[in-house]
Chains A and B, each alone.
Chain A
Amino acid sequence: MGKLMAMIVRRLALGLLTMVIVSFIIFLGVLFLPGDLAEAILGQSATPETVAAFRKELGLDLPWYVRYFDWLFGMMQGDMGVSLANKREISELIGVRLKNTLFLAALASIISVPLAIILGILAALYRNSFYDRAVNVLTLSSISFPEFFVAYILILFLSVNAGWFPSISNISPGLSIWEQAYRCALPALVLTLVVIAHMMRMTRAAIINLLASPYIEMAALKGMSRGRIIVKHALPNALAPIINVIVINLAYLVVGVVVVEVVFVYPGLGQLLVDSVSKRDIPVVQASALLFAGTYILLNLTADVLSIATNPRLMHPR
Chain B
Amino acid sequence: MVTTTVDSASPNQPSPWASRIAVTTVYFFVLVLFLKNFNADTWSALLGFVAIHVYSLVVLRFWNNMERTTAGNTVIITPTLGYLLIAGLFWDGFSVWPWSTFLGLVVIQISAFAAVTYWRGLSKAPPTAWFGLVVILLYVLIAVSAPVIAPFGESEIVGYEYEPWGKEGFLLGTDNLGRDMLTRLVYGARNTIGIAFATTCLAFFIGGVGGFLAAASGGFVDQLLGRLVDVMMAIPSLIFILMILTITGTSIPMLIVVIGVLDSTRVFRLARAVAMNIVVMDYVEVARLRGEGMWWVMRREVLPNAMAPLVAEFGLRFCFVFLTLSALSFLGLGIQPPLADWGSMVRENATLITFGDITPLLPAAAIALLTVGVNFVVDWFLQITSGLRDDT
The contact size tier of chain A is 35 or more
Q: Is B326 an interface residue (CB 8 A)?
A: yes
Is there an interface contact between A22 and B332, defined as CB atoms closer than 8 Å? no
Residue of B nearest to A271 (CB): B331
Residues of A with C-beta under 8 A to B243: 26, 29, 277, 285-286, 289
Q: Is B10 an interface residue (CB 8 A)?
A: no
Is there an interface contact between B234 and A22, defined as CB atoms closer than 8 Å? yes
A292-318 CB mask vs B (1 if < 8 Å, else 0) is 110011001000000000000000000
Residues of B with C-beta under 8 A to A149: 346, 361, 364-365, 367-368
Residues of A with C-beta under 8 A to B89: none
Docked Cα-Cα span, A231 to B161, in Å, equals: 58
Q: Is A238 an interface residue (CB 8 A)?
A: no
B359-375 CB mask vs A (1 if < 8 Å, else 0) is 01100110110011011
Within 240-298 of B, Cβ neighbours of A (below 8 Å) are at: 240, 242-247, 249
Q: With A208-B392, A255-B239 in contact, is A152–B333 under 8 Å at CB?
A: no
Residue of B nearest to A291 (CB): B239
Stretch at the interface among B100-108, B211-219, B350-358: B350-358
Q: Which of A21, A137, A146, A278 contacts B332 (CB 8 A)?
A: A278
Docked Cα-Cα span, A26 to B240, in Å, equals: 9
Docked Cα-Cα span, A15 to B96, in Å, equals: 58
- Closest Cβ of chain A to B354, distance in Å, is 6
Is there an interface contact between A278 and B230, defined as CB atoms closer than 8 Å? no
Residues of A with C-beta under 8 A to B330: 146, 148, 259, 262
Q: Is B327 an interface residue (CB 8 A)?
A: yes
Is there an interface contact between A148 and B364, defined as CB atoms closer than 8 Å? yes
Is there an interface contact between B353 and A293, defined as CB atoms closer than 8 Å? no
Docked Cα-Cα span, A246 to B363, in Å, equals: 31
Docked Cα-Cα span, A156 to B355, in Å, equals: 9
Is there an interface contact between A273 and B239, defined as CB atoms closer than 8 Å? yes
Q: Which of B236, B326, B379 contacts A140 (CB 8 A)?
A: B379
Is there an interface contact between A153 and B361, defined as CB atoms closer than 8 Å? yes
Residue of A nearest to B374 (CB): A144
A205-220 CB mask vs B (1 if < 8 Å, else 0) is 1001100000000000
Residues of B with C-beta under 8 A to A282: 246-247
Q: With A146-B326, A149-B367, A274-B333 in contact, is A293–B235 under 8 Å at CB?
A: yes
- Closest Cβ of chain B to A248, distance in Å, is 11
Docked Cα-Cα span, A18 to B233, in Å, equals: 10
Residues of B with C-beta under 8 A to A274: 242, 331-333
Q: Is B238 an interface residue (CB 8 A)?
A: yes
Q: With A273-B242, A289-B239, A293-B239 in contact, is A146–B368 under 8 Å at CB?
A: yes
- Closest Cβ of chain B to A67, distance in Å, is 16
Docked Cα-Cα span, A209 to B391, in Å, equals: 9
Is there an interface contact between B231 and A258, defined as CB atoms closer than 8 Å? no
Q: Is B64 an interface residue (CB 8 A)?
A: no
Docked Cα-Cα span, A292 to B332, in Å, equals: 20
Residue of B nearest to A285 (CB): B246
B316-327 CB mask vs A (1 if < 8 Å, else 0) is 000100010011
Q: Is A235 an interface residue (CB 8 A)?
A: no
Residues of A with C-beta under 8 A to B245: 277
Residues of B with C-beta under 8 A to A156: 353, 356, 358, 361
Q: Is B128 an interface residue (CB 8 A)?
A: yes
B197-233 CB mask vs A (1 if < 8 Å, else 0) is 0000000000000000000000000000000001100
Residues of B with C-beta under 8 A to A285: 242-243, 246
Within 93-117 of B, Cβ neighbours of A (below 8 Å) are at: none
Is there an interface contact between B327 and A259, defined as CB atoms closer than 8 Å? yes
A-B CB contact pairs (8 Å), 16 listed: A29-B246, A141-B368, A143-B375, A144-B375, A145-B371, A146-B326, A148-B330, A148-B343, A148-B346, A149-B368, A155-B353, A155-B354, A167-B353, A255-B239, A276-B246, A293-B236
Ranked nearest first, the 9 interchain pairs of A and B with the lowest CB-CB distance are A144-B371, A149-B364, A255-B236, A145-B368, A292-B239, A144-B372, A293-B235, A296-B236, A289-B243
Binding site for B on A (CB under 8 A): 18, 21-22, 25-26, 29, 32-33, 127-128, 137, 140-141, 143-149, 152-153, 155-156, 160-161, 167, 205, 208-209, 251-252, 255-256, 258-259, 262-263, 273-274, 276-278, 280-282, 285-286, 289, 292-293, 296-297, 300
A-B contacts besides A141-B372, A149-B367, A282-B246, 18 pairs, CB < 8 Å: A22-B234, A25-B231, A29-B247, A33-B247, A141-B368, A146-B330, A147-B327, A148-B326, A149-B346, A152-B364, A208-B392, A258-B239, A258-B331, A263-B350, A280-B249, A289-B240, A296-B234, A296-B239
Binding site for A on B (CB under 8 A): 128, 230-231, 234-236, 238-240, 242-247, 249, 319, 323, 326-327, 330-333, 343, 346, 350, 353-356, 358, 360-361, 364-365, 367-368, 371-372, 374-376, 379, 390-392
